Chains A and B, each alone.
Chain A
């Protein structure tokens, strides 16, 4: 079974605080891809990052960083020095190599308060 769990439904932080969004996944596939998407109030899902299951290196891109740990089946996303423009719903997604579906979590709604 393929499943993505985002246990945090809503998070509020004050601007400039750091925030981590959790993602836990389940799959029996040995090769798979993990993604994060951002859905701002306008509604369009925006691709942020992709990782494959063989690459556990953490990645940093500006204020964003991702921590992929196969041992705990987690792919967490951290925003440092949050800004109001970061307010959105963030989705974690899994795509196993054996199929063409993407399995999305239920999303975490982030509100950054000025």
Chain B
């Protein structure tokens, strides 16, 4: 399977702990996105990379959140000092952008975070 893969699929942690999620995009895709989805809502944009450069961050992304995409391949999303409000599904998506059009997003299965 050469789709977007995310790890871990589920993470349960205690409030105050740090968690890290990994995303491996489709190999030829140059763009990588992180979204967050809570129950009954659509995905909300968190951040976006073009190759290794983080080009856009949502105001939703507090200082406790950091994302990297070293070498323009896989990406990690770290949440420090987790809070119960961070409980959500964290979705990674990738696309092949051409010019100004970012391309349609291809999503992974998500990483579900539960903060106790």
Contact = CB atoms under 8 A, between A and B. Distances in A.
Given A42-B109, A45-B107, A97 B101 contact: yes
Interface residues of A, number: 24
Considering residues A37, A42, A101, A103, which has the most beta carbons from chain B within 10 angstroms of its beta carbon? A101
Nearest to B55: A100
Contacts of A44: 107-110
Contacts of B41: 106-107
Nearest to B50: A100
Interface in A23-49: 33, 35, 37, 42-47
Nearest to B102: A100
21 contacts: A42-B109, A44-B108, A44-B109, A45-B43, A45-B93, A45-B107, A47-B105, A47-B106, A93-B42, A95-B102, A97-B100, A100-B50, A100-B55, A100-B56, A100-B97, A101-B45, A103-B45, A104-B42, A104-B44, A106-B41, A107-B40
3 shortest interchain CB distances as A-B pairs = A104-B42, A45-B107, A44-B109
Given A43-B89, A101-B45, 9 more contacts: A4-B42, A33-B101, A44-B108, A45-B107, A47-B106, A100-B48, A101-B48, A102-B33, A104-B42
